[in-house]
A = this chain, B = another copy of it.
Amino acid sequence: MIGYPNKKRTMVQNNVRDNYMGRGMSLEDDLNKSNAYYMEMKRALIHKKPIPIQIVKVDYPQRSSAKIVEAYYKTPSTTDYNGIYRGKAIDFEAKETKSKTSFPFKNFHPHQIKHLEQVLYHGGIGFVIIRFSYYDETYLIDAKFMIDAYYHYEKKSIPYETIKNNGSFIRQGLTPRLAYLDNVDECYFKEDDNNESKTEKIK
């Protein structure tokens, strides 16, 4: 194996070898890599939030380094991803399920749904990215649709077919792994883009 001087390049190599076209990678990993790509291309500024943790005890074996020796996971009070795209605040949660038939609501914490409601109230773009890992299919679902389903469905899950029919299918590739901003363009900026191309024609 060739020792590349540059870590990034080695990573790409491994990904190509192990996970051709993204298959088998976790949704989180795909999104992180897609966001890094979008950031580098200056298309958007979107980050995953760190996992919230309650730190109880920290040791300082050396002056410079701190070692956390007791800590616990906290329940997140927001979604995992947020940032800025085309001047708009963007906020979303990503979940994957192994189920072949439906997406269970229990994948959400209730305050994540509450948080998405607040995102919409304050004028942000909110959605959920759901992957059915059995089919290796990933969909963008508008937050409003998901919130309504969460509160009003009688069953504790959304059927796969409903996601398929109401979601926007996200194309998978190499760079970016998940071209989900194309779906965001399609779902939230279509009118702007149409107006822009009209304006260009008039010019």
Contacts and interface: CB of A to CB of B under 8 A. Distances in A.
Interface of A: 39, 42, 44-45, 47, 49-53, 55, 65-74, 77-78, 82-91, 115, 118-119, 121-124
B72 A70 contact: no
A86 B121 contact: no
A46 to B, nearest CB: 9
A65 B69 contact: no
Contacts of A77: 47
A168 to B, nearest CB: 22
Nearest to A77: B47
Contacts of A74: 50
Contacts of A88: 87, 89, 123
A78 B39 CA distance: 12
A60 to B, nearest CB: 12
A123 B67 CA distance: 38
A43 to B, nearest CB: 9
Contacts of A50: 49-53, 74
A87 B123 contact: yes
B66 A73 contact: yes
Contacts of A68: 53, 68, 70-73
Given A83-B89, A89-B89, A89-B90, 15 more contacts: A42-B118, A45-B121, A47-B77, A53-B55, A53-B68, A66-B73, A68-B68, A68-B71, A68-B73, A69-B70, A71-B71, A84-B119, A84-B122, A86-B123, A87-B123
